[in-house]
Each structure stands twice: as C-alpha cells, then as structure tokens.
Amino acid sequence: MIPIDGEWNCVERLDAHDIEVDGRVQCEFCRTAIRWIHVLVHDEVAERRFAGCCCAARLCEGYNAEESERAFKNKCDRRVRFVDLSRWTVSRTNPTNIFREMRLPSGRVRVVIFLKDGRYGVVISDLKKGSPTFSPGRYSTRAEALVMAFELFESMKGEQ
C-alpha cells in the first residue's frame, strides 16, 4: 500500500554528499537523482523515505519544500566556509588550539576549538563582554568539533 499524497511529513533535510561517498542518492518516489534530500515519515510506514524537492512538496501538505531546500542549501554552504581550516588561526600560546573571529548580530565573537584531556571542545566568547558559551560535548576529532562549533554558532545567531 502506498500512502496517499499529503499525509507525509518532512522531519529533516540532508546533503547527499554527507551520507554517500559518491554523493548519489535517488528520490525513493520517482527515482530522480537528488543532491538535497527531504527525509519523509508517515504514520503507517516504518522506514523514513528520501524524497526530492518536487515529491516532498506533493507528498507533504503545507510544506514549502523549495524554500526549505534553499535555506538548507545556504546553511550547508555556510558550514563549508565555517569549517575551512584556512580561515582559522593556530594559537601561539597553545598550538593544539585553533580560533577564528566571526560576527554575530550582538557583536564580534571568537570561536575556539581546544584540546583538553585528549578530547576537542568548543567555546565561543563575545570579544567585548567575554561571556563564554561552551559546546555541551567533547569530541574525538577536530573535524567533529568544527561541525559542532558551526551548529553552536548558528544557534547563537537566532538567540539575539
């Protein structure tokens, strides 16, 4: 049984390049090759299904698939620029730490990826007020910490 149009919900969006080595994913409804995946769920279907923009728009009532995809794509582009190591500076006092300065609506901040007890952490500090915000976790690789730093930074953008 194939559930009817309009009864699906989109729970998240993914970049095919993040989940497949060759970056190739097909829409499970129309078999079109897609880069930007809308992950759909349905009450009567056990598995999550991957859909492209057109199918997601048709299957999910009231879901602006095109706008969501554009916002997600922009966020992925920001993440690529954020984690680009050429934009980071190695700390002179502690060469295992890297940092960069970024702008938030509230002012400039310094984002630091630090290594402590063999695990990477993230702290974002306001350059004027100095108030630090730490990531909740510690990470085993610097790459992982960079992605978490991006998520933390993005969440602080919305808090102003």
Q: Which is nearer to Zn ion, 28 or 144 (CB)?
A: 28
Provide the minimum distance between the beta carbon of 28 and Zn ion in the complex, in angstroms, as a whole number: 8
Q: How far is the CB of 24 from Zn ion (least distance, A)?
A: 15
DSSP 2: P
Pair of tokens at residue 104: 């938030």
CB of 129 to Zn ion, least distance (A): 48
Name the helix (H) or strand (E) containing 148: helix 142-157
Using CB atoms within 10 Å of the CB of residue 144, give its burial: 0 to 12 exposed, 13 to 18 middle, 19+ buried. Answer: middle
Binding-site string for Zn ion from residue 72 to residue 111, where x marks contact by CB under 5 A and - marks none: ----------------------------------------
Other C-beta atoms within 10 Å of 134: how many? Answer: 14
**Distances from the Cα of 62 to the Cα of 5, 39, 129, angstroms:** 12, 15, 42
d(CA 145, CA 160): 23
Pick 57 or 98: Cβ nearer Zn ion: 57
Return the number of the residue (29 or 114) whose C-beta is nearest Zn ion: 29
Of 52 and 121, CB closest to Zn ion: 52
Contact 124, 131 (CB under 8 A): no
Residues of span 22-41 touching Zn ion by CB under 5 A: 27, 29-30
Q: Based on the shown chain and the rule CB under 5 A, indicate whether residue 59 belongs to the binding site for Zn ion.
A: no
**Interface with Zn ion by CB under 5 A: which range of 14-22, 52-60, 72-80, 142-150?**
52-60
d(Cα 69, Cα 94) in Å, to the nearest integer?
40
**Which is closer to Zn ion, CB of 69 or CB of 79?**
69
Residues that bind Zn ion (CB under 5 A): 27, 29-30, 52, 55
